[in-house]
């Protein structure tokens, strides 16, 4: 069994707002194994981004975080901001949807990579500059030497995201968290960026967590998937098993609502996502679930192994078989 | 009597770029749409796909004459919109409506849902009390009658989009332009809206011009597809033909870029990944606009612009070296 890079246990994140508490993450359990690509999928408000923002220590002081996040044997929850700063960029990095806001507009991109290198490693300016060019080359930027002395505005959207990836992997982190990295990009550019991420994972051996709402993106690149709903993970497993025989009614619902060639009528999930200020008792999906019964209102289902998946559904074993494909 | 509802011929739209004070350069223009022609039959859906900057939204706005085209004609039910006077056009606008992408920006937060839906009726001077019509419309789009007195903030994204659709339906239009109608919605919600479009079309015989970047959505809804690249249609034909037998390299690359939701099929297929990104429409490449990213490009592609030609499989595409 591969070594676990990241272990998240019973992670909870609550935000205090003027209107009350928002229970954004409500007990997430999740492992990331060495050099795997884990896809985390969920709809807006499911807590997928907040889970990893909490793990990397980027939430505001308004957020109350409890539980445990262990990165390579080291507990991260409770670390001071200074301690977290030495973790970020060295052991674990995160990239986001909008590459332009992640880059400093008044510095050349080469300098921004050098800054990242020198804040964690003892490198001379010359060594760091050479390494910066190598990194730009690795993420597929043509003429990396010339490009490293250009400013972010001189790059296109896809090229900027490549620069951001270069910065994130500069110190060979063990884990790269990519939060909707291709959502702002056109599909043909998305395909390029996904290839870069896959290459980073395979060549450098960095484990990648890819957070997305797009099940197609996950199907293309991920090894394992974690499905989130209303602040909890409700199903996990290998990509083959999860798409082939999903157990959880929500995962099934998601797959059934995607338009696919040859599919005549889509099956939407009824209702809409719950208000996270007052999530439903018991299983949060029960209000939209066609299989819900009274016990679902009481017990919060835990992840249990069933049919080579981990599924958080009380009725997983009783549900009829599911076929996605015709 | 033909079944044709909308015909667009040689539509061109240039946006002039304002010169900065000190620039001595000539007046420049972005060619957002160049020589676009297509038609939509009654009760049919044409899907307009392309990446950002391909001009698909501009085409939609020109069709409604929300913006004036630089040249070209738009015929609605056989009448040339360009030669119409303001009053005539206004009367005809009843028949053409639009649903926008962002259901949060397209509804007035200070108006009740009922008055938002009734507004087109008032604007067009439809006499009488509109309550019954509003109730009927709410039910038609899958909302309930008591939603009429509520405000937009009380609704989720999917419900708001339904309100926008109800408003578009108020005047019994023959054509609705759907400009990225589901891209702001989660998939589980999106499916319900797509089903609604289908039901409304069956029930009311409406035609749609569906503008979207999501190919799987377009494939699901549209009867015919037009693929745009840098302001031009590169391939147009029946949905199934274009998706199953793309003849333009760009169409092939676009289809190949969209991930399938079946991991086995997704990982076993051969993919074409395009190099680079879409060039600036201010200065499009000579000849074929796609040639800078095309793996098949030859000298002729830079010199001579390909025209749309009928292919053996039945669609039209503009390429010197079509796929077969």
Give which of A235, A258, A312, A227 is closest to A41, Cα–Cα: A227
CA distances from A114 to A118, A140, A153 (A): 6, 18, 18
CA atoms of A115 and A132, how far apart (whole Å): 10
* Contact (CB<8Å) B259/A188: no
pLDDT category at A323 given cuts 50, 70, 90 is low
Nearest-angstrom CA–CA distance, A268 and A287: 14
Query: Residues of A with CB below 8 A from B262's CB?
Result: 219, 243, 260, 324-325
Tell me whether strands B71-76 and B79-80 are parallel, antiparallel or unpaired.
antiparallel
Phi, psi of B102, deg, nearest 5:
-95, 105
Sheet holding B175-179, edge to edge: B96-99, B175-179, B207-212, B45-49, B224-229, B232-238, B316-317, B309-310
Residue A269 contacts residue A257 (beta carbons within 8 Å): yes
Interface test with B, best of A180, A219, A263 (most B CBs within 10 A): A219
Q: What's the pLDDT at B1? A: 45
Comparing CB atoms, the residue among B51, B190, B264 nearest residue A188 is B51
**pLDDT digit string, tens, across residues A12-29:** 999 999 989 999 999 999
* Domain A1-102+173-326 architecture: 3-Layer(aba) Sandwich (3.40)
Do the beta carbons of residue B11 and residue B59 sit within 8 Å? Answer: yes
pLDDT above 90: residue A36: yes
On the question of pLDDT at A116 being above 90, the answer is yes
Rounded Cα–Cα distance for residues A47 and B168 (Å): 34
Question: Which of B188, B220, B254 minimises the CB distance to A43?
Answer: B188
DSSP β-ladder status, B4-17 and B28-41: antiparallel
CA–CA gap between residue B305 and residue B147 (Å, rounded) = 54
Question: Which residue of chain A comes nearest to B260, CA vs CA?
Answer: A216
- Asked if the Cβ–Cβ distance from B191 to A190 is below 8 Å, we say no
pLDDT at A35 over 80: yes
| CB nearest A258 (choices: B261, B271, B273) | B261
Supply φ then ψ for residue A265, to 5 degrees. Answer: -125, 130
A272·B264 Cβ contact <8 A: no
For A244, the closest chain B residue by CA position comes to B262
Asked if A181 is an interface residue toward chain B (Cβ–Cβ < 8 A), one would say no
- Determine the distance in angstroms separating the CA of A219 from the nearest CA of chain B, rounded to an integer: 5
Residue-wise pLDDT for A246-276, tens only, equals 999 999 999 999 998 878 889 999 988 899 9
Contact B187 A43 (CB under 8 A): yes
Tens of pLDDT, residues A66-96: 999 999 999 999 999 999 999 999 999 999 9
Are B191 and A258 an interchain contact pair (Cβ–Cβ within 8 Å)? yes
Residue A253: its pLDDT value, please?
A: 94
- Distance (Å, whole) CA A286 – CA A281: 9
Contacts 24+ apart (CB under 8 A), A298-306: A300/A27, A300/A232, A301/A234, A303/A29, A303/A233, A303/A234, A303/A235, A303/A236, A306/A247
Question: Distance between CA B39 and CA A26 in Å, rounded?
Answer: 52
Q: Which of B195, B216, B257 sits opposite A268 (nearest CB)?
A: B195
Indicate the pTM of the whole model: 0.91
Q: Which residues of chain B have pLDDT under 70?
A: 1-2, 19-27
Asked if A143 has any chain B CB less than 8 Å from its own CB, the reply is no
Nearest to A266 among B194, B213, B243 (CB): B194
Interface A-B: count of C-beta contacts within 8 A: 119
Give the strand order in the sheet containing A175-179.
Answer: A92-95, A175-179, A207-212, A37-41, A224-229, A232-238, A309-311, A304-306
Nearest CB neighbour to B266, from listed A192, A219, A258: A219
* The pLDDT value given to residue A326: 39
Contact A189 B216 (CB under 8 A): no
Across chain A, mean pLDDT equals: 94
**pLDDT at residue A325 greater than cutoff 60:** no
Task: Report chain B residues whose CB lies below 8 A from the CB of A219.
Answer: 259-263, 266
> CA B124, CA B39: separation in Å to the nearest integer?
27
Nearest CA of chain B to the CA of A260: how many Å?
Answer: 6
B111 to chain A, closest Cα gap in Å: 23
Q: How many Å apart are CA B195 and CA B193, to the nearest integer?
A: 5
Average pLDDT (A308-319) is 93
Flag whether residue B144 sits within 8 Å of chain A, measured between CB atoms. no
Backbone angles phi, psi at A262, to 5 degrees: 85, -10
The torsion defined by the Cα of A12, A15, A19 and A20, in degrees rounded to 10, comes to 40
| Residue B188: predicted pLDDT | 87
């Amino acid at each position: 069994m591969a070594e676990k890079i990241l272990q998240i246990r019973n992670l909870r994140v609550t935000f205090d707002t003027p209107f009350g508490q928002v229970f954004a993450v409500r007990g997430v359990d999740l492992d990331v194994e060495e050099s795997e690509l884990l896809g985390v999928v969920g709809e807006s408000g499911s807590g997928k981004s907040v889970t990893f923002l909490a793990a990397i220590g980027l939430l505001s002081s308004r957020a109350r975080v409890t539980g445990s996040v262990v990165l390579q044997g080291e507990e991260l929850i409770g670390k001071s901001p200074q301690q977290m700063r030495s973790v970020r960029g060295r052991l674990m990095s995160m990239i986001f949807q909008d590459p332009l806001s992640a880059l400093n507009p008044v510095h050349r991109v080469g300098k921004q990579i050098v800054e990242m290198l020198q804040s964690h490693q003892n490198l001379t300016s010359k060594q760091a500059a050479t390494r910066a060019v190598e990194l730009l080359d690795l993420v597929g930027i043509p003429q990396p030497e010339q490009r490293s002395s250009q400013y972010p505005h001189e790059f296109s959207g896809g090229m900027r995201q490549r620069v951001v990836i270069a910065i994130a992997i500069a110190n060979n982190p063990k884990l790269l968290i990519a939060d909707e990295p291709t959502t702002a990009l056109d599909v043909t550019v998305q395909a390029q960026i996904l290839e870069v991420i896959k290459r980073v994972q395979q060549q450098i051996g960095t484990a990648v967590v890819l957070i997305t709402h797009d099940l197609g993106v996950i199907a293309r690149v991920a090894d394992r998937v974690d499905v989130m709903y209303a602040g909890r993970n409700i199903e996990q497993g290998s990509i083959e098993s999860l798409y082939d025989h999903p157990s959880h009614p929500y995962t099934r619902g998601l797959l059934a609502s995607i338009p696919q060639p040859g599919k005549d009528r889509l099956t939407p999930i009824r209702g809409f996502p719950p208000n996270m200020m007052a999530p439903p008792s018991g299983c949060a999906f029960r209000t939209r679930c066609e299989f819900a019964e009274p016990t679902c209102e009481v017990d919060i289902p835990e992840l249990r192994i069933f049919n080579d998946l981990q599924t958080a559904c009380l009725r997983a074993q009783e549900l009829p078989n599911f076929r996605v494909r015709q | 009597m033909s079944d044709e509802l909308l015909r667009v011929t040689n539509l061109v739209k240039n946006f002039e770029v304002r010169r900065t004070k000190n620039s001595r350069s000539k007046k420049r223009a972005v060619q957002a749409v160049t020589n676009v022609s297509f038609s939509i039959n009654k009760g049919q859906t044409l899907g307009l796909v392309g990446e950002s900057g391909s001009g698909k939204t501009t085409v939609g706005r020109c069709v409604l004459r929300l913006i004036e085209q630089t040249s070209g004609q738009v015929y609605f039910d056989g009448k040339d919109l360009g030669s119409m006077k303001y009053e005539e056009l206004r009367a005809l606008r009843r028949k053409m409506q639009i649903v926008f992408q962002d259901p949060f920006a397209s509804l007035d937060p200070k108006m009740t849902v009922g008055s938002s839906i009734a507004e087109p009726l008032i604007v067009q001077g439809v006499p009488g009390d509109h309550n019954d019509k509003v109730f009927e419309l709410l039910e038609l789009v899958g909302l309930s009658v008591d939603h009429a007195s509520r405000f937009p903030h009380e609704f989720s994204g999917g419900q708001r989009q339904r309100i926008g659709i109800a408003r578009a339906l108020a005047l019994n239009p023959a054509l609705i332009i759907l400009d990225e109608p589901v891209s702001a919605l989660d998939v589980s919600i999106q499916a319900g809206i797509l089903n609604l479009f289908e039901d409304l079309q069956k029930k009311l015989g409406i035609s749609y011009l569906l503008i979207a970047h999501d190919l799987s959505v377009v494939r699901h809804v549209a009867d015919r597809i037009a693929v745009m690249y840098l302001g031009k249609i590169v391939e147009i034909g029946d949905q199934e033909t274009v998706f199953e037998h793309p003849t333009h390299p760009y169409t092939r690359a676009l289809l190949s870029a969209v991930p399938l939701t079946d991991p086995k099929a997704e990982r076993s297929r051969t993919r074409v990944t395009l190099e680079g990104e879409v060039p600036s429409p201010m200065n499009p490449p000579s000849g074929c606009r796609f040639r800078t990213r095309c793996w098949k490009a030859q000298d002729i592609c830079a010199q001579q612009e390909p025209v749309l030609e009928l292919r053996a499989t039945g669609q039209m595409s503009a390429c010197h070296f079509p796929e077969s």
